[in-house]
Amino acid sequence: MAASAARVAVVRERGSRGLDVAGVLVLGSCVAWSLISAGSREARPEGVLLAVLALTAGYACGRITGSLLPVTAALVAALVALGLALASAPGVPGATPVGSVPTGHTGAAAALLVLAAGAACCAAAAAGSRPGRLLSGLLAAAVAGSALAIGSVAGFVASAAVLLCSLAAVRMRRRLLGLVGLALATVLMVGASWAVAEERLPEGLAVSLEGGLTGHRVLLWQDAVALTKENPVLGVGPDRFGARSATARETFAADGKPHSAALQQAAEQGLPGVALLGAAYGWLLWGLWRSPRPTAVVLTAGAALTALAALATVGNALSFTPVTACAGLLAGLATAGAGGRTSPVDDPVIYSADDAAG
> pLDDT of 234-250, one tens digit each?
999 998 998 888 888 87
Q: How far, CA to CA in Å, does 199 sit from each of 38, 257, 354?
A: 30, 20, 44
Alpha-carbon span 175 to 303, nearest angstrom: 12
In this structure, are residues 328 and 26 in contact, taking their beta carbons and an 8 Å threshold?
Answer: no
- Give the pLDDT of residue 96: 42
In this structure, are residues 235 and 267 in contact, taking their beta carbons and an 8 Å threshold?
Answer: yes
Q: What is the mean pLDDT of residues 323-351?
A: 68
Alpha-carbon span 121 to 132, nearest angstrom: 11
Alpha-carbon span 266 to 186, nearest angstrom: 16
Catalogue the long-range contacts made by 347-356 (C-beta closer than 8 Å, 24 or more residues apart): 347/292, 347/294, 348/8, 349/173, 349/174, 349/295, 350/173, 350/174, 350/175, 350/295, 351/8, 351/11, 351/12, 355/176, 356/7, 356/8, 356/11
Alpha-carbon span 40 to 63, nearest angstrom: 38
pLDDT of 88 higher than 80:
no
pLDDT of 354 higher than 60:
no
- Give the pLDDT of residue 1: 45
pLDDT of 342 higher than 70:
no
Q: What is the mean pLDDT of residues 225-240?
A: 92
- Give the pLDDT of residue 15: 57
- Give the pLDDT of residue 158: 94
Q: What is the mean pLDDT of residues 101-124?
A: 80
pLDDT of 103 higher than 70:
no
Per-residue confidence at 59, pLDDT binned at 50, 70, 90? very high
pLDDT of 90 higher than 80:
no
- Pick 101 or 158 by higher pLDDT: 158
One-letter amino acid for residue 229 of the chain: K
- Give the pLDDT of residue 339: 57
Q: How far, CA to CA in Å, does 287 sit from each of 6, 147, 215, 235, 318?
A: 21, 29, 38, 30, 20
Question: Whose CA is closest to 277, among 340, 220, 337, 319?
Answer: 319
Per-residue confidence at 145, pLDDT binned at 50, 70, 90? very high
- Give the pLDDT of residue 183: 96
Per-residue confidence at 87, pLDDT binned at 50, 70, 90? confident
pTM, full prediction:
0.86
Alpha-carbon span 254 to 100, nearest angstrom: 8
Q: How far is CA 193 from the centre of its chain?
A: 17
319 secondary structure, DSSP code: G
pLDDT of 218 higher than 60:
yes
In this structure, are residues 242 and 255 in contact, taking their beta carbons and an 8 Å threshold?
Answer: yes
- Pick 132 or 28 by higher pLDDT: 28
Q: What is the mean pLDDT of the chain?
A: 83
Q: How far, CA to CA in Å, does 159 sit from each of 85, 137, 224, 331?
A: 13, 12, 29, 17
Per-residue confidence at 100, pLDDT binned at 50, 70, 90? very low
- Using the Cα atoms of residue 56, residue 62, residue 67 and residue 68 in order, give the sign of their dihedral: positive
> Per-residue pLDDT tens for 180-213?
999 999 999 999 999 999 888 787 777 777 777 7
Q: What is the mean pLDDT of residues 325-343?
A: 80
pLDDT of 222 higher than 70:
yes
In this structure, are residues 301 and 281 in contact, taking their beta carbons and an 8 Å threshold?
Answer: no
- Pick 152 or 122 by higher pLDDT: 122
In this structure, are residues 104 and 113 in contact, taking their beta carbons and an 8 Å threshold?
Answer: no
- Give the pLDDT of residue 274: 96
- Using the Cα atoms of residue 310, residue 276, residue 286 and residue 127 in order, give the sign of their dihedral: negative
Per-residue confidence at 352, pLDDT binned at 50, 70, 90? very low
Q: What spatial distance separates the first Cα and last Cα of the chain, rounded to whole Å? A: 21
- Pick 282 or 345 by higher pLDDT: 282
In this structure, are residues 61 and 333 in contact, taking their beta carbons and an 8 Å threshold?
Answer: no
10 secondary structure, DSSP code: H
